[in-house]
Amino acid sequence: MKPLLFLHFIFLQTLLYSTLASTTNQMLVLPLKTQEIPTGSFPRSSNKLPFHHNVTLTVSLSVGSPPQNVTMVLDTGSELSWLHCNSTSTNSTSTRPMFNPNTSSSYSPITCSSPTCMTQTQDFPIPASCDSNQHCHATLSYADASSSEGNLASDIFGIGGSNVPGTIFGCMDSGYSSNSEEDFKTTGLMGMNRGSLSFISQMKFPKFSYCISGSDFSGMLLLGNNNFTWLMPLNYTPLVQISIPLPYYDRAAYTVKLQGIKVSNKILPLPKSILEPDHTGAGQTMVDSGTQFSFLLGPAYNALRNEFLNQTSRILRVLDDPNFVFQGAMDLCYLIPVNQTSLPSLPSVGIMFGGAEMSISGEKLLYRVPGETRGKDSVWCFTFGNSELLGIEAYVIGHHHQQNMWMEFDLEKSRIGFAQVKCDLASQRFGLYN
C-alpha cells in the first residue's frame, strides 16, 4: 500500500538567543513544511523506527557562501545534521535539492585529526575514519539496511537572516539513492537531540519550543528563551540522565520517566518494571519530533489496545483483517463510513510522566489510512503501535500526539514542559496568520 501524498505549509517562528553572532534577542519567521514521505524515499538513522511512511516536519534555511537553499527535517531523535551533497551540480540546476560544497567559499572539511572527528555519537554505527584526503569520513546506517557515506564539514548556516559560521554537519554524497518524487523535496536532516554535535547544542540555545496544529498543520517553532505571559503554565517533567553507557540506551535522547497509562480514568495495571529501562537500557521513553506516531513496548501496548478496544466496542466497528497491520506495528483498526464527517466521542488516553500528564483525545487517537477502503468504509487505525514488532526496545512519543500542545525542551534546566493550546491561535498571536 502506497499512501497518498500531501503537502501542507506551516511556518516557523524563531526567537534567536543572544549567543548568535552579534544579534540581540529578536523574533524571526522562517517557512516550514509538513510532508508525508513514502517508503524508502527518506532514510532514517540506525536507531529510528523502520516506518513504511512518515510525516516529517521540515524547515527551510540556507547554507554556504553564496547561500544555497536547503530543506531539513526537524528531528529531536537524531544528533548529527546532514545534507545530501553533490559536487558536480548546483542547486539551481539539480532536480532534487542538494548542497554543492564546491560552490561554497566558506565550506571546510573536518580533518580526521580533529577532536570533532573523534566525537562518540550513536549516529555512527561505524566510527568515523580518514579518507584519502585526510578528511573525516562518516558512515550512517538506516533502518532499511541501506547506508550513506560522506565527510564531516563546517559551513555557514543562515537562520532567518542571521549567519552562523562554523556549523558542523555531514555532507553525505554516496550510497543512498531513491527514485521517489518525494525525495526531491528534502535536502537533509537537522539533528536536535542533546548530543554535542546536534544543531541545538552547536547554536547554544538554552531551550526551544514548537506547536503544531492538528487541523491544518499550521504552527511554529521557537529557538531560544520565551517568556510569554499569555501562555498557560506548562507542566514539566524532568529529563532522565544516566552516567554510564548502556547498549540499548540513547543518552542523547530526550528521555522522560513513564509512570503509567490510562484510558479515560482507568489506570492500566502495568508493573513498574516494564515502564522503565532494564539493565541493558532497553525500555527508555523518548520524545521524538522525527517520529509520526507513538510506540509502546509489547506488554504496555497490549494492555492499552485491549482496554481501548473494550471501551469503544459499542461505538466503533473493528476491521477484522489479520493480514492488515498499519506501518507493521499498528494492528487495531476500525471501519468508518467514508461519508461520515466526524468521529464518535472516544475515550481519552493519558500518558503519565513524572510531574506531568499528556492527555490524548479525539482525532489524535485514530488516523485515516490514505487509500485504504473496504466497500463504503474507510480504514482508521489506533495511533499507538507495538514497538517490539519493529525491533525497537523503547517507548517513543511521536509528534502526532503532540499536536495542539506547546512543547518546550528546556536544556538549561533539563526538563520538558507541555500544555494544551490551540496552535493556530498561538500562531495568530505571533502575527503569522490573519
SS3 298: helix
59 and 102, same domain (yes or no): yes
Spot the catalytic one: 123, 288, 331, 424.
288
Q: How far is CA 177 from CA 188, 189, 387, in A?
A: 13, 16, 27
**Is 230 within a domain?**
no
Domain that holds residue 56: 7-205
Spot the catalytic one: 75, 183, 250, 424.
75
Examine residue 66 and say whether the peptide bond preceding it is cis (omega within 30 degrees of 0): yes
Q: How many helices (H) and strands (E) does the chain have?
A: 3, 29
**Is 216 within a domain?**
no
Contact predicate 139/126, CB 8 Å: yes
- pLDDT at residue 181, as a whole number: 43
18 and 160, same domain (yes or no): yes
Beta bridge partners of 75: 191
- Residue 375's closest CA among 323, 319, 324? 319
- pLDDT at residue 414, as a whole number: 97
- pLDDT at residue 173, as a whole number: 80
**Is 218 within a domain?**
no
165 and 305, same domain (yes or no): no
138 and 66, same domain (yes or no): yes
- The residue among 159, 188, 205 that closes a domain is 205
Cα(303)–Cα(290) distance, integer angstroms: 26
Domain of 244: which CATH number?
A: 2.40.70.10
Pairing of strands 317-318, 333-337: antiparallel
192 and 250, same domain (yes or no): no
Q: How confident is the chain (434 residues) per 10-residue block, as mean pLDDT?
A: 30 36 40 51 48 64 93 88 76 66 96 86 75 88 66 91 89 58 67 92 88 68 71 90 90 96 97 95 94 94 98 96 92 96 95 96 94 95 94 92 92 94 72 52
308 and 199, same domain (yes or no): no
H/E element, 191: strand 188-191
The x, y and z cell numbers of residue 16, run together, are: 534567536
284 and 168, same domain (yes or no): no
251 and 144, same domain (yes or no): no
Active site residue 320: no
**Is 2 within a domain?**
no
Contact predicate 141/46, CB 8 Å: yes
26 and 140, same domain (yes or no): yes
Contact predicate 298/275, CB 8 Å: no
Cα(219)–Cα(424) distance, integer angstroms: 6
The upper half-sphere exposure of residue 236, i.e. CA atoms within 13 Å in the direction of its Cβ, equals 11
199 and 288, same domain (yes or no): no
16 and 154, same domain (yes or no): yes
**Is 422 within a domain?**
yes
Q: Where are the beta strands (DSSP E) in 117-161?
A: 126-130, 136-141, 147-159
Active site residue 75: yes
Domain count, the chain: 2
